[in-house]
Amino acid sequence: MVVTAAAGAAPERYNKRQTGGFVDEMRSVAMKLHSKDQSKEGEKETQGKPWPKWEPTIDGYLKFLVDSKLVYDTLDKILVKADFPEYAEFRNTGLERAGNLAKDLNWFKEQGHVIPEPLSPGLDYSVYVEELSKNDPQAFICHFYNTYFAHTAGGRMIGKKVAAKILNGKELEFYKWDGDLSQLLQNVREKLNRVAENWTRDEKNRCLQETEKSFKFNGKILHLIVA
């Protein structure tokens, strides 16, 4: 089945007053990779089946959640280890998802479902982003931005659709944040802009050029929902 991914789906609703700086550039590049069914600002034509028409399964959704947790665990580990000083800026932002995913997987287990092992989409992405983080902080931060911010927008929409179809509308912890999400996002935007102020134009471009890879990796994980 060919499915249109909403992997990096609209990292955030555009708000000129709140954003600005390099985050605007990151978002602009991301929007160029969206199809029109993913976002009103998307510039690509939809290819394959648009995500609102997906037919998810519990097994597929569990694969998606397990691989997602692996990636978020990896991102958290990278930020704690902090091979580059700027990584420390993005610890404990309130956007962290691994702990919430652990609670969700435990809930599924309590319902009698078998929790699968991570598959190649999550394993491959985790290996890639960990290696990248050791040598190219600008490129790594692109993955940080697209993975975390996409989940707060397109990811939430997909989660709501999936819950309505296969979970009787249950809202998972994956889609809940402590505190005001808009403020958490604003705080991280400001940190991203401050960090990027110290980058050369070439370094900024290297970050932006990594966007497509981020979409491809996240898209493969997203597709597990209908695997």
Structure tokens at 207: 């970050």
Structure-model confidence comparison of residues 46 and 146, the more confident one: 146
Structure tokens at 213: 């890879």
CA-based torsion, 136, 82, 174, 184: positive or negative: negative
In sequence order, what DSSP letters do the residues of 43-64 get, joined into one string?
Answer: -BPP-SB-GGG----HHHHHHH
At 194-209, the pLDDT tens digits run: 999 999 999 999 999 9
Structure-model confidence comparison of residues 38 and 73, the more confident one: 73
The secondary structure element, H or E, covering residue 70 is helix 58-81
Q: Is the pTM of this model over 0.75?
A: yes
At 136-153, the pLDDT tens digits run: 999 999 999 999 999 998
User: Looking at the predicted structure, is the pLDDT value of residue 164 above 90?
Assistant: yes
DSSP summary character for residue 171: P
